[in-house]
Amino acid sequence: MSWLTDSLGTPGENAQLEDATFTSTMASPRVKLENYIQIFMRDCAVSDSQEAVLKAGVKSEMAYQLQKVLKLIALDVEYAIVNNATAVAGSATTPGKFGGIPYFNTVNKITGGAALTEANLEDAIQAAWKVGGLPDMLLCSGNVKKVIDKFTTGATRNMNYDNDKLKQVVNVYESSFGLVNVQMHRLYPDTRVDLLQSEYWKLAYLIPFKTVDRPKDGLMNGKVVTGQLTLECRSKEANATISIGA
């Protein structure tokens, strides 16, 4: 799957004489970005006996197992978004994989030290801002989130006025270049922080997720959940990444 992206160019001094003549500037071609389709599939199977017997807490064993599969396949998609650093073209023997956030977020790179610092964070946001980006989302691991919670300069903390307790967490970071929502993700590594301008990211579906009944196999009943999709990044320059502890 492919799409086109463009840039405005570099601003500069623009002052013309009264008798200036027209000049022609050759238009620069748009840049094509692309990613591969990844096929996701999970299944569940329940015997006639499992479905027929009385069960504690659930009415249908198949319905219960299907709900687990639906949640798990959603986590599979999140795993690919967070961790896929390369895009793999599918073949007869190799399944295709779409490139995730680390595949696209390679332009504005900041190298930190053993731990994330507030200076690292400001430098990364500024790097994207200088080329026209406005990151509004920060994604990180739980351990990195605890480090950000200790930042003081741009931290926006929450006060519960019912019991006058200050919650020592940072959910919004106010940088010199705009507000950034801080979100931790349990699948994120401790060695990377990504700053994204969310409007330029989306999932694109070739085939939306659907549930298919498998042909009955003896006394077993099965269902398969499958879908085909990729990740689109409409502007690589609008984002930034920080590597830490590596």
Residue 159 has a pLDDT of 47
State the pLDDT at residue 57. Answer: 86
**What CA–CA distances, in Å, run from 143 to 133, 140, 148?**
27, 8, 9
Which runs of consecutive H residues, i.e. helices, occur in 105-184? 118-130, 142-148
Please count the CA atoms within 13 angstroms of the CA of 89 that sit on its side-chain side. Answer: 2
Please name which of 14, 232, 36, 241 lies closest in space to residue 139, comparing C-alpha atoms: 241
The whole model's pTM is what? 0.84
Which candidate, 234, 243, 209, places its Cα nearest to that of 39?
A: 209
Long-range CB contacts for residues 180-183, cutoff 8 Å, separation at least 24: 180/125, 180/135, 180/136, 180/137, 180/138, 181/136, 181/137, 181/138, 182/138, 182/140, 182/145, 182/148, 183/137, 183/138, 183/139, 183/140
How far, in Å, CA of 137 to CA of 241, rounded? 12
Q: Which residues of the chain have pLDDT under 70?
A: 7-9, 153-169, 246
- Look at residue 199 in the predicted model and tell me its pLDDT: 95
Q: What is the pLDDT of residue 157?
A: 53
